[in-house]
């Protein structure tokens, strides 16, 4: 994996682009902070990588129509069995990808692995302010009386992951034995 200095998931995309793979990227907006719309799309424009921004809930429809060949996500934390914590919505993408027979890849540096955690249910899930869901860049988008749930992350079980891509190599069908070998444990 030759993506040093290129981040993780976007590094894989850059490698494919510069390797002449003729890729096109569907970019989820990534609510509520809009990291996909504000950061990922900007980086793709800067690299001249063909892409189109979509609302988060559009991905499943595109998969259903056969317009997605692979899903590549990053990770915030990975357990010893290969469960992955990432931005909320990652689990949903993995379930949809599995249903439609689409490979689901996680690209992450070795530092993302937490050898103290065996399973995904051991990962604490941060609950963020409901106001971040009810407001968008200072504009109220929901009635004041409405409550909201704002979880920052979800956990994707290893069974839904085709491979984890790291700077040390690729772990296909991740499991505890393969992860321990990758980490030299």
Which positions are catalytic?
A: 76
DSSP letter at 117 equals -
Can you point out the beta strands (E) in the chain? 25-28, 51-54, 71-73, 77-78, 84-87, 104-107, 135-136, 139-140, 153-156, 163-166, 169-172
Beta pairing partners, 51? 25
Residue whose token pair is 């504009």: 139
């Amino acid at each position: 994996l030759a993506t040093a200095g290129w981040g993780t998931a976007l590094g894989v995309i850059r490698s494919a682009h510069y390797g002449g793979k003729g890729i096109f990227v569907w970019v989820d907006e990534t609510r509520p902070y809009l990291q996909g719309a504000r950061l990922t799309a900007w980086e793709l424009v800067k690299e001249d990588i063909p892409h189109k921004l979509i609302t988060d809930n559009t991905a499943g429809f595109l998969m259903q129509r056969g317009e997605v060949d692979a899903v590549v996500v990053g990770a915030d934390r990975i357990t010893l069995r290969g469960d992955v914590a990432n931005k909320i919505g990652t689990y949903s993408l993995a379930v949809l990808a599995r249903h439609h027979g689409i490979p689901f890849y996680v690209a992450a540096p070795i530092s993302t692995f937490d050898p103290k955690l065996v399973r995904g249910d051991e990962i604490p899930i941060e609950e963020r302010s409901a106001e971040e869901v009810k407001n968008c860049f200072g504009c109220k988008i929901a009635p004041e009386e409405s409550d909201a749930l704002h979880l920052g992350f979800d956990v994707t079980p290893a069974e839904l992951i085709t491979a984890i891509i790291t700077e040390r190599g690729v772990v296909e069908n991740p499991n505890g034995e393969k992860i321990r070998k990758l980490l030299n444990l």
